[in-house]
Structure formats: structure tokens, C-alpha cells
Amino acid sequence: MSQPSEIVVRAITQDGAFRVITALTTQTVQGVVSAQQVTGATAQRLGELVTGAILVREAMAPTLRLQVIAKDTAGRGSLVADAHPDGSTRGLVTLRGGETEIEVAGGSLIQVMRSLRNGAIQQGVVEVPEGGGISQGLMAYMQESEQVVTMVSVATLLDEHGVGRSGGVLVQLLPEVERGPLMVMTERLREFEELGAVLANEEVTADKLLDELLYGMPFTRLEESALRYACQCSQVRVVTALATLPRSDIEEMVSDGEMLDINCDYCGKAYQVPPAALQALLTPS
């Protein structure tokens, strides 16, 4: 279920003007897309959302779980990216009414949720700007919900085998930024607006993205974190989810006396829950 590790890299310019995060997410996205069995535009958007969720989590909540949901403007479905602090990431595609493709464009909704340590959920919802996509939607979220001026660029490239390359960059303006460095960075970021052209170079890594983005700017490479595709599902989580059902529903399943077959929507792994385990849910602890 797991893929070999990739990394996300964090750095800060020595003048305290910019915080930068870069990631090459090809193998992680390949795992997610393969598990969801999607192709074309849906695979691209899912890859971009997964990469964006990784970048935003690293920027705003590196020790917390973060989910990003993108909803198709025409109501054809939604995409979910679920990024965890251990570096594991998974995704989910929900299609409605026989639709086969999801597009995220101007007017689509982007919802970002992160789990806080006290169990509460912090969330924000923004609309993708007209003419924009997932990158612009995430930038709008950072500006409106987090009140941080941020540039985000994510891209997923497809080839004849599926996902060929995927990655992203995130740049935050810090309070110490001055006009000169800001003008330089603004011009530099124009080259990264179409990140796909940069990622097409197969020699590009997360560190090379960092070096190119901050060329000529002294910076400190802070740390890196491993990334991988992996699902968090387990037998215990399945039973725990069943425990949230109404008691009448559980009693009905117990009375049927049959093994309950459940597949994880994220990775497709099959689980079997015997009647005895369901009966235990009806017994007061």
C-alpha cells in the first residue's frame, strides 16, 4: 500500500523576507490516483489537490492532520486530499449521477479542515477565483482564512502510463519583507505560475525547486519531512465507524447474522466484521 518516501523541504531567506516550501510528490500522487482508479482531468486535479494539501499542512499545521475538499461547480462530485503529520497522504474521488470527470475551476468551492489537539475542527471555505484552479483556490484560502499572503503553485503532469510528474511550491511573505526583495520574488514567481513546465524536467527535485526559486537569495534550509502514499484505515477504525450508527441499524445487522463486508473508500482494502463484533457494540462498556 505504501510507496517509497519522497520529501517536502522547508526554508527561510536569511533576510527574513520569505518562507518557502517545496515538494516533489510524484510517487505519492501515483499511489493516490491508482487507488482511486481515475484518469484524465480528474487524476490531474486530484494530484494537484493532494500536493496542495501537503504544502498547506506543512505551512500551517505540520503536526496536525489536514484535509482539503474541492467541489465541482456543476455538482458532478468532489475530491478529497487527506494529509497526516507522519507524512502519509491519501485521496478520495466522489462522482455523482454517473459522471466520469471532475473539474475544479472558477466558482468551485475549496474547504480546508484541520484537526486541533483538543479534538475541535478548524475549517475555512473559499471560492476559486474566476479563471483559476486549485492553486488559485488555495491562495485564496491562505489569504482569506489564514490572513497570510501566500503564493501556491501545484501541478500534475500525465503521460501514457498515468501520472508522470507532480509537485508544488509555496511562498509566504513575512513581515520583514522589503520592497526590493519583494520585487525580485514577484518576478521570479512568474516562472513558477505554470509549474508544469518546470516539472517536465525529470532531474527536478524538491531541493532543486528550492534552489531555482531562491536563486541569488541567501537562505537557510530548515528541515525536510518524508512523504508517502498510505491509508489510515484499519479493522479498529472500521468498527469504530460502525459504532456511530443508530442502535436500531446495528441491531438489524446483528439480527441478519451475516458477516459484514466493507471496503475502504480511500484504498479499496476489504474488511469483514463478524456479527459478534457488532453485538459487542450493543453491550454497555
Strand partners for 273 = 260
Mention every residue, 6+ apart, whose C-beta is less than 8 A from residue 268.
35
pLDDT at 154: 96
> Residue type at 222?
L
Q: Give per-residue pLDDT as tens, 30-84.
A: 999 999 999 999 999 999 999 999 999 999 989 999 999 999 888 889 999 999 9
pLDDT along the chain (285 residues), means of 10: 69 92 96 95 96 96 94 90 96 88 92 84 92 94 91 95 95 87 85 88 92 92 94 91 88 86 94 88 74
Q: Say what the pTM is.
A: 0.90
Integer Cα distance of 229 and 36 in angstroms? 12
Burial degree of 213 (CB within 10 A; 0-12, 13-18, 19+): buried
> Which one-letter DSSP state was computed for residue 278?
H
pLDDT at 285: 57
Half-sphere exposure of 65 (CA within 13 A, CB side): 15
Q: Would you give the end-to-end CA distance of the chain in angstroms?
A: 34
**Cβ atoms of 29 and 163 closer than 8 Å:** yes
Integer Cα distance of 119 and 13 in angstroms? 34
Q: How far is CA 78 from CA 81, 94, 96, 136, 195, in A?
A: 10, 5, 9, 17, 24
Look up residue 89 and give its three cell numbers.
497522504
pLDDT at 168: 96
Look up residue 126 and give its three cell numbers.
473559499
Look up residue 133 and give its three cell numbers.
484552479
Integer Cα distance of 74 and 108 in angstroms? 8
